[in-house]
């Protein structure tokens, strides 16, 4: 009898849920409360999602905060919204013959009028990146300051959509529960000017699957601030229209003075306890013969009496002012990538408070193509903000920018290394190889891998593994391609003899215990030690790279500099 009664009771409960859209409280943990009015029934993307590709479609969810117990609101230390959603990187489906342009767009979330910006490459999103791959929906958490819960009407209004872009092919799918009456979900098709509860998959029996999560534990709450900020190239008002232009959807700076851009609402960008992250995709250009720009000093981001990010000569310069007068706290160093190549550049200021390790102050970091390049801990220094405008491309005399910029973003928190790496990996213009590395041509890579598989001995296999590594660190592919086939040789002694017969410039020195492969003559990028074999164990002493070094120095004028083993200006000349 009980077996028959159980399905009947379940049917009654399900029917009741369909008729009711009342707010419910969940307790997934002892300190956590979740406010929701969806039933968690997702019918699939065809009927259960808003399909947002452009910047005119917004979704809105309004939470009745009076449904929360007073003690929950009073004791909340951390708060976030959870959005059930998915992304589709649609460029490959639109143009199957062309390469993907990557996840290069932005989603906004407006919480009681305060905006948070998320790049579509944010690792929290689940992404469909091919025509045959399925859409995979997941809950995406977005934390915000507890102070944003306060409102005069006792409600929390959440709006979300996409920021207009040049490509509009990163599709955004906020999910919808179609099994409950609609009491708090709306959609706008005109960028928020008017709202309806009956458009697309939003109807009378649907609720957006957006939930509010409150936690009375969880450490220090976020500061109350304006939220993440984003400036899209081409949307900023120009200070001088004639000298800074938009070409192909990118900002083009020519090195003229007074040609910087004023970022709208840039005075709201302030450094808080959550830190600061500056991001751009930039291509530095050669100075033209008739250009007034004669040096290599350039500015990317500038906020007077607060901070700036740029380059001084061939070094990065991430500076702060502690007194509003001088730039007395700075991270200067690293090697700026060569001109005329796209680079994903990120600078992070992170507040540290680890007294046990003596890490109290601000840690500055600079990432190039998603890889941490340089960092510095400034102890007992806590930068503060001001109401000065935020400029792009200028701000200091002699630091006028000569470059193209494809993307600009400013975040009011310290992004993690994982988030920065994801953004760089999905920057469509950036060929993100590691510093000192180059891309091996597919033909040579395939040829060397076949030789590795066909090698008759452990030692000849080592030889081809070393040659593949050398190609990836800049050793000329023409030299490697011109080598005779040695996969059938069974000893390094035979390999050494074969190399001496040719004019490859490679020298193999052998002892009973070790073997050293060297590149003689002149060359750049690649360090001349290509491989060092321990013959007893049959393994190379080196791993992904061979010898690397970094020389930091000061010149006669007190200016610091840096020279790496792979610096483009460095030349090796090896003679036997």
What's the pLDDT at 295?
85
What's the pLDDT at 131?
78
Question: Do residues 152 and 32 lie in contact, with contact meaning Cβ atoms separated by under 8 Å?
Answer: no
SS3 171: strand
* Residues facing 232 on adjacent strands: none
SS3 184: coil
Rounded Cα distance, 576 and 574, in Å = 7
Rounded Cα distance, 135 and 202, in Å = 19
Closest CA to 175 of 203, 144, 206, 146: 206
Question: Do residues 294 and 287 lie in contact, with contact meaning Cβ atoms separated by under 8 Å?
Answer: yes
As a CATH number, domain 229-425 is: 2.60.120.200
Rounded Cα distance, 490 and 456, in Å = 6
- Rounded to two decimals, the pTM is 0.54
Question: Do residues 388 and 303 lie in contact, with contact meaning Cβ atoms separated by under 8 Å?
Answer: yes
Closest CA to 39 of 21, 61, 51, 59: 21
Q: How many CB atoms lie within 10 A of CB 402?
A: 23
Rounded Cα distance, 347 and 316, in Å = 10
Closest CA to 261 of 238, 227, 277, 241: 238
Rounded Cα distance, 478 and 233, in Å = 41
Question: Do residues 292 and 255 lie in contact, with contact meaning Cβ atoms separated by under 8 Å?
Answer: yes
Distances from the Cα of 549 to the Cα of 174, 528, 565, angstroms? 49, 13, 5
What's the pLDDT at 565?
73
Ordered DSSP codes for 483-534: SPP-TT--SHHHHHHHHHHS-S-EEEEE-SSEEEEEE-EEEESS-SEEEEEE
DSSP structure class, residue 276: E
Query: Which ranges constitute the DSSP H helices of 310-416?
Result: none
The phi, psi pair for 14, rounded to 5°, reads -65, -40
Q: Using one digit for the tens of pLDDT, what is the confidence trace for 423-468?
A: 887 777 887 666 667 778 889 999 999 999 999 899 999 999 999 9
What's the pLDDT at 441?
86
The phi, psi pair for 404, rounded to 5°, reads -110, 140
H or E element in which residue 282 lies: strand 276-284
Domain boundaries, the chain: 16-215, 229-425, 433-576
271: its two tokens: 């450094």
499: its two tokens: 């190399």
Q: Using one digit for the tens of pLDDT, what is the confidence trace for 472-523?
A: 877 888 888 889 899 999 888 989 888 888 777 788 989 999 999 988 766 5
What's the pLDDT at 240?
47
In this structure, the strands spanning 127-128 and 78-89 are: parallel
Task: Count the alpha carbons within 13 Å of 460 in the hemisphere toward its beta carbon.
Answer: 21
Rounded Cα distance, 164 and 160, in Å = 13
Question: Do residues 214 and 32 lie in contact, with contact meaning Cβ atoms separated by under 8 Å?
Answer: yes
Question: Do residues 440 and 473 lie in contact, with contact meaning Cβ atoms separated by under 8 Å?
Answer: no
Question: Do residues 402 and 386 lie in contact, with contact meaning Cβ atoms separated by under 8 Å?
Answer: no
What's the pLDDT at 321?
92
Q: Which residues contact 112 (CB under 8 A, 6 or more apart)?
A: 148, 149, 150, 151, 156, 157
Question: Do residues 26 and 34 lie in contact, with contact meaning Cβ atoms separated by under 8 Å?
Answer: yes
Q: Which residues of the chain have pLDDT under 70?
A: 1-21, 92-101, 166, 218-243, 246-249, 258, 264-265, 432-436, 521-526, 544-545, 554, 557-562, 566-569, 575-576
SS3 411: strand
Closest CA to 233 of 374, 93, 408: 408
* Residues facing 347 on adjacent strands: 278, 366
Residue 258: left if φ>0, alpha if ψ -120 to 50, beta else—which one?
A: left
DSSP structure class, residue 312: E
Q: Give, to the nearest 10 degrees, the angle between helix 492-501 and helix 458-472.
A: 50
Ordered DSSP codes for 318-344: EEE-SSSSS--EEEEES-PPPTTS-EE
Closest CA to 52 of 164, 135, 127: 164
**What is the rounded end-to-end Cα distance, in angstroms, of the chain?**
94
Cα radius of gyration (the chain): 29
DSSP structure class, residue 356: G
Rounded Cα distance, 366 and 350, in Å = 11
What's the pLDDT at 413?
85
What's the pLDDT at 524?
56
The phi, psi pair for 148, rounded to 5°, reads -70, -15
For tokens 């969940």, the residue is 26
């Amino acid at each position: 009898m009980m077996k028959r009664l159980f399905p009947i009771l379940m049917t009654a409960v399900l029917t009741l849920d369909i008729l009711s859209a009342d707010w419910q409280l969940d307790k997934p943990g002892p300190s956590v409360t979740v406010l929701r009015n969806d039933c968690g029934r997702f019918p699939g993307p065809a009927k259960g999602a808003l399909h947002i590709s452009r910047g005119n479609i917004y979704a809105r969810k309004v939470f009745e905060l009076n449904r929360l117990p007073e003690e929950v609101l009073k004791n909340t230390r951390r708060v976030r919204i959870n959005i059930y959603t998915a992304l589709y990187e649609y460029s490959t489906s639109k143009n199957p013959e062309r390469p993907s342009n990557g996840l290069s767009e932005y989603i906004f979330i407006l919480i009681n009028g305060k905006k948070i910006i998320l790049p579509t490459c944010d690792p929290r999103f689940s992404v469909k990146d091919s025509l045959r791959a399925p859409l995979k929906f997941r809950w995406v958490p977005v934390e915000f300051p507890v102070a944003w819960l306060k409102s005069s009407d006792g409600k929390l209004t959440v709006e979300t959509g996409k920021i207009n872009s040049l490509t509009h092919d990163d599709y955004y799918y906020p999910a919808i529960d179609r099994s409950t009456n609609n009491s708090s979900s709306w959609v706008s098709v005109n960028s928020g000017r008017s709202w309806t509860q009956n458009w697309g998959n939003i109807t009378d029996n649907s609720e957006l699957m957006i939930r509010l999560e409150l936690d009375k534990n969880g450490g220090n709450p976020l500061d109350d601030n304006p939220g993440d900020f984003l400036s899209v190239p081409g949307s900023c008002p120009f200070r001088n229209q004639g000298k800074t232009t938009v070409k192909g959807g990118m900002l083009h700076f020519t090195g003229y003075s007074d040609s910087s851009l004023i970022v709208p609402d840039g005075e709201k960008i302030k450094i808080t306890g959550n830190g600061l992250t500056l991001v751009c995709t930039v291509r530095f250009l050669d100075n033209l013969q008739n250009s007034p720009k004669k040096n290599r000093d350039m500015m990317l981001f500038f906020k007077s009496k607060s901070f700036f990010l740029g380059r001084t000569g061939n070094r990065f310069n991430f500076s702060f002012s502690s007194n509003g007068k001088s730039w007395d706290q700075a991270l200067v160093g690293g090697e700026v990538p060569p001109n005329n190549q796209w680079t994903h550049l990120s600078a992070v200021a992170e507040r540290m408070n680890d007294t046990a390790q003596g890490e109290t102050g601000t840690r500055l970091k600079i990432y190039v193509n998603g890889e941490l390049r340089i960092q510095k801990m400034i102890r007992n220094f806590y930068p503060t903000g001001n109401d000065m405008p935020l400029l792009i491309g200028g701000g200091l005399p002699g630091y006028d920018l000569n470059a193209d910029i494809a993307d600009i973003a400013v975040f009011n928190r310290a992004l993690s290394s994982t988030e920065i790496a994801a953004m760089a990996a999905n920057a469509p213009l950036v060929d993100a190889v590691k510093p000192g590395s180059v891309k091996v041509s597919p033909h040579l890579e395939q040829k060397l891998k076949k030789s590795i598989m066909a090698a008759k001995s452990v030692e000849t296999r080592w030889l081809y593994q070393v040659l593949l590594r050398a190609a990836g660190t800049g050793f000329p592919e023409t030299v490697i391609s011109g080598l005779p086939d040695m996969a059938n040789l069974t000893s390094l002694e035979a390999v050494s003899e074969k190399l001496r017969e040719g004019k490859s410039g490679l020298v193999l020195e052998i002892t009973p215990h070790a073997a050293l492969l060297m590149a003689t003559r002149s060359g750049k990028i690649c360090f001349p030690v290509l491989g060092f074999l321990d013959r007893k164990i049959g393994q190379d002493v080196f791993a992904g790279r061979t010898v690397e070094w970094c020389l930091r120095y000061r010149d006669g004028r007190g200016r610091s500099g840096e020279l790496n083993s792979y610096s483009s200006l460095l030349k090796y000349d090896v003679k036997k």
